[in-house]
Structure 1
Amino acid sequence: MKIDLTGRTALVTGSTSGIGYAVAAGFANAGANVVLNGRSADRVAAAVDKLTAETGSEKVTGVAADIATAEGADSLFAELPEVDILVNNTGIFGPQPVFEIPDAEWLRFFEVNVLSGVRLTRHYAPRMVKRGWGRVVFVSSESSTMIPSEMVHYGMTKTAQLSVARGMAQEVAGSGVTINSVLPGSTLTEGVRAFIGELYPELPFEQAEREFMAKDRPTSLLKRLIRPEEIANLIVYTASDAASATTGAALRVDGGLIPTI
């Protein structure tokens, strides 16, 4: 299947590295006009240069904005009023015993992981409806259904994303706009590499990865960390014309980790 997104403008939030960067690369390779986003202007500029060099695309730009705040989102809208494809990828995670998480940390996780996507979809989706075509993808997680005991606040936000995406999909029913969630499993990003390193500091990373999958993610059928490009493949498809009948869905790319049919 050849996916052609020529003429489409795709915004990927949190895309200076990791899954977001891989998704942006997938869009660039499919011919889309790609807009990278992150909080740091320097990191965004470096990511734009890197992606341009790697893909050969001349249609890669970036906007630095902290979309975890209303002011940051407004600054993004001022520079980029409309898009055809929105991937809500911005997110944070980190382990903390559940009874030691203070109110401020619960709110911070919700603001970054949930409200950022709510703000952007609330702005862009109605404009997509007026044009009769659009794609929104929330990057959730397998943690939305298998809440990790070491970071319950993170799992809570990922579950909330599923509700938000489904409800918004119902609101744009029959419009030509689709809104879906994608649920990655544990993926080899810089953040996850550091996280596993903290859990198993005495082990080389390759061995730490095996220990993590065996002990902390034992239900995985893949038995390894997923690579960002493998997540990006599903997201790029979901954002294409080929996925026109898929909406309101929670799509798993978790390596079989969730033990349910």
Structure 2
Amino acid sequence: MELDLKGKRILVTGSALGIGRATAACFLAEGAEVILNGLTEAEVAAAREALSPLGTVSGLAADLGTAEGADALLAFAGTPDVLVNNVGIFSVKPFAEITDADWMHHFNINLMSAVRLTRGVLPAMLARGTGAIVNLASEAGVKPLPQMIHYSVTKTAMIGLTRGLAELTKGTAVTVNAVLPGPTWTEGVEAYFDGLARETGRPVDTIIESYFREGEPTSLIQRFVKPEEVARMIAFIASSPASNGAAYRIEGGIIRSIL
């Protein structure tokens, strides 16, 4: 499918690994120019090397959990045609043990990174009348996970941020939408399940099977979403001018709702 993205300049945060890297690859395959971002120079360099055969790609290491990191990335990227606010973290922790520092760390990375970067690019997008912003939320933003309440709350906030920002674009060709992935098999999730396997002495495959059977019984696909599946939806939404202020689910049917 031709998404009319050739020559577009795309900024994807948290794109050294996981969904972000798959998204960068998807945009490159459509002929776009991609700006990568990661936490360290080493991971950005590795991603750039892996993706450069696909097209024009650059990158900057910056901690987007800080205002300084966001400012540095904005200075490097300028005003992209598309901003994908993908960077995010998660952790499994009992609610009573989640400290104020834990809460603020998750909010700074999962939400404030999007606030700061959008604040930096949206005025220019509105001035020229075109542009797209795609925010990565989660099914946990609609169906909060008790083992990750702090993560879930940041994703609920991301959905609210998305709709509020979209209201600012009325009468222009600028769009702001959210994507809500379900459990996705990224490097971080793989590391978590590998650690759980070591702790419990159970095979990883067995743990994963029980996770969907017991932890996510409403999942209709009964498997992890692939990063490439999320990436394709992000690229499609970014190229769809009639879509604005929406929250798109790609969570395998976990949320038992028709909307």
Q: What is the TM-score with the length of structure 1 in the denominator?
A: 0.95
User: Residue 163 of structure 1 aligns with which residue?
Assistant: 160
Q: Deviations along 1:125-173, whole A, 9 cap, x unmatched? A: 1111112110100000000011111010000000000011100000111
Verify: 1:98 aligned to 2:95, yes or no: yes
Q: Deviations along 1:159-207, whole A, 9 cap, x unmatched? A: 0000111000001112110000000000000111122233444333333
Moved over 4 A (4+): none
Q: Secondary structure at the match of 1:99?
A: helix
User: Residue 34 of structure 2 aligns with which residue?
Assistant: 34
Q: Distance in 2 between matches of 1:155 and 1:195?
A: 17
Q: Which runs of 5+ in 1 are unaligned?
A: none
Q: Distance in 2 between matches of 1:20 and 1:62?
A: 13
Worse overlay, 198-207 or 221-230: 198-207
Q: Deviations along 1:83-137, whole A, 9 cap, x unmatched? A: 0000000101010100111111111110110000000011111111112110100
Q: Which runs of 5+ in 2 are unaligned?
A: none
Q: Secondary structure at the match of 2:16?
A: coil
Verify: 1:60 aligned to 2:57, yes or no: yes
1:189-200 alignment, distance < 5 Å: 189-200=186-197
Verify: 1:244 aligned to 2:222, yes or no: no
User: Residue 214 of structure 1 aligns with which residue?
Assistant: 213
Q: Secondary structure at the match of 2:147?
A: coil
Q: How far did 1:216 drift? A: 1.2
One of 233, 251, 255 as aligned partner of 1:254: 251
One of 96, 104, 109 as aligned partner of 1:107: 104
User: Residue 6 of structure 1 aligns with which residue?
Assistant: 6
User: Residue 233 of structure 1 aligns with which residue?
Assistant: 232
User: Residue 88 of structure 1 aligns with which residue?
Assistant: 85
1:169-180 alignment, distance < 5 Å: 169-180=166-177
User: Residue 22 of structure 1 aligns with which residue?
Assistant: 22
C-alpha RMSD of the superposition: 1.1
Q: Distance in 2 between matches of 1:128 and 1:104?
A: 34
User: Residue 44 of structure 2 aligns with which residue?
Assistant: 44
User: Residue 140 of structure 1 aligns with which residue?
Assistant: 137
Worse overlay, 14-23 or 193-202: 193-202
Q: Secondary structure at the match of 1:251?
A: strand
Q: Distance in 2 between matches of 1:46 and 1:169?
A: 34
Answer yes or no: is the 8 Å Cα contact 1:197–1:208 preserved in 2.
Answer: no
Q: How far did 1:66 drift? A: 1.2
Q: Secondary structure at the match of 2:178?
A: strand
Letter in 1 for 2:50: K
Q: How many residues align?
A: 256
Answer yes or no: is the 8 Å Cα contact 1:219–1:256 preserved in 2.
Answer: yes
User: Residue 203 of structure 2 aligns with which residue?
Assistant: 204
Q: Distance in 1 between matches of 2:59 and 2:196?
A: 34
